[in-house]
Structure 1
């Protein structure tokens, strides 16, 4: 809360084991840092933690949301030599797993804070989620998956990626259950769950999960990431399947 390096305008800088990522915003941060901050604020009765989490959601959406597509760019770099929030979105990558963090985090955040239907932040977050889901439906593959770069074709090297597919399945199912999005998204999520199940091997591992992905300076960076099984892929598959059971069983 207090010691984490901040970007211009107070964004939470996304630090990885390999780099400080100076003055960078990543969509990963909302899931990995901001959601835990909000939970700690609720648990320990520290409302200023919750308010900071709200601010971080707004700030990250401000710089990462692409209004032309309804999707999110992976990151934003503030320009240290300029003022007024000047910077760039790196490769302008609409990366699937990063987008799925948003599809997960928005419904979870609204539920965690128990924001009422007439709350301004809730209405804003729901509108952002609805725009994203509309595009996700259009970009879902016939197999029920999504590609690692959502708007890049398989012919161009954008492979089908399982962790994002699981994350989208969870977020869509929960958003339908909570009535944040229309009920007709249920089938989109159902197709995604089937695709996830088809990629779980005999040892219970979710395969076709892209390896840890740092910020890419070009789109090729994302296409070159290898697929394997990863702990976060397991977690996202479990989340999707638990939500599926909650809705359908």
Structure 2
């Protein structure tokens, strides 16, 4: 078993992961800048660990990814304690983003078979399958705590709701959930993939009632036509994860697999020339024409590293992306502070109607940034096995 790979030692990787986890569960919003105030008076702490938003959903999944390597009771307890506290508090509003936590819960249920988790998995998956609003042609509408986002498809949705629905379908034996997840992947690639660059646009809006109400007209559009880095990284993560779910769940689909693998390949080919040689990072806007004033962003870089490394391990991608992935891992390591916070992480990013929107997003440590770094390093750690 190698103890060093491309100049990175196994012990240093595991030490950084433990530091990232500790920092994630102890992050605090000391100024209140990142609190989300809802019309009903609730205040959601998107930065701190003890609340319920997509930020925590990704955070939980980062810990789960590392738990799969360690089988550490302490790591599993972190996850289960979070769910116990949130369930005791009465849950929260169902939307695209709050569904994200159930990817991890479905994984935990598969391992522990705790019957207390079944009603939650059942209720939320039934909502996503039957009641979550759909766009024209049946895409999942990216509804959040604050906005209905009528007629809108976002690339975030695949990570936040579609993967959880697929995993729940597999652990509860509900094939129709998995079939719906397949359809959502196809629809989102259809409307968000940019064939000219091989990258993904952040979102698509169908023309219709919502546009008319806002005084806009014309056909559908990609908003600012932003090839947003973290949004692209959700695809880099989600495609290998989804293909693995299908294979391990015994519901392989060769045609869909070939389609998604070729889509992932096109994206990775596009990413290579856009990576900063000096830092290993990608900027928050990927397309060269969009990059002026766009800052290097570590969470997206971690997401790309994870997706490429996992894609290689599962043989969805070839070895030609090895250097790109290793540079990204080293870039992530260089952006972990002494306190274990992932630096250069952009805050939650809503849909932008101009490119400046993405350039103005503040930078702050967040649970998802911590988790995406954990995921990248945990996948890299498999090289030492």
TM range (shorter): over 0.9
Structure 2 spans left out of the alignment, 5+ residues = 1-128, 212-217
Instruction: Report what 1:107 is aligned to.
Output: 240
Secondary structure, counterpart of 1:76 in structure 2: strand
Q: Could you tell me the TM-score, scaled by structure 2's length?
A: 0.62
Aligned residue for 2:131, secondary structure, equals coil
Of residues 141-150 and 151-160 in structure 1, the stretch that sits farther from structure 2 once superposed is 151-160
Choose the corresponding residue for 1:204, options 340, 352, 369: 340
8 Å CA contact 1:117, 1:123 repeated in 2: no
Alignment of 1:185 with 2:297, yes or no, is no
Q: Does 1:43 align with 2:155?
A: no
| Partner residue of 2:139 out of 3, 8, 11 | 11
The CA RMSD measured in Å over matched residues stands at 1.8
Map of 2:150 onto structure 1: 22
**How do 1:55-70 residues align onto structure 2 when only pairs under 5 Å count?**
55-70=183-198
Aligned mates of 1:154, 1:245 — CA distance in 2 = 34
Where 1:79 maps in the other structure, the secondary structure is coil
Kindly state the Cα deviation for residue 184 of structure 1 after the two structures are TM-superposed.
2.0
The alignment's TM-score, normalised by the length of structure 1, stands at 0.95
Deviations 1:129-186 (A, max 9, x none): 0000000011111111100000147971011000000000000000111111111211
Aligned to 1:149: 285
Cα distance change of structure 1 residues 248 and 185 upon mapping to structure 2, 3 Å threshold: farther
Give how far 1:104 is off. 0.3
Q: Contact 2:290 / 2:355 at 8 angstroms: preserved in 1?
A: no
Bigger CA radius of gyration: 2
Describe the SS at the equivalent of 1:58.
Answer: helix
Shift of 1:118: 7.5
Shift of 1:3: 1.1
2:311 matched to which residue of 1?
175
Q: Match of 1:32? A: 160
Give the direction of change, closer, same or farther, for the CA distance of 1:41–1:199 in structure 2 (3 Å limit).
same
Which of structure 1's runs of 4+ aligned residues deviate more than 6 A?
115-118
Pick from 105, 130, 146 the counterpart of residue 2 of structure 1.
Answer: 130
Aligned length: 247
Show the 5 A alignment for 1:72-83. Answer: 72-80=200-208
Aligned residues of 2:204 and 2:222 also touching (Cα < 8 A): yes
Deviations 1:32-77 (A, max 9, x none): 0000000000000000000000000000000000000000000000
Residues 38 and 53 in structure 1, CA contact (< 8 A), matched pair in contact too: yes
Does the alignment pair 1:137 with 2:272? yes
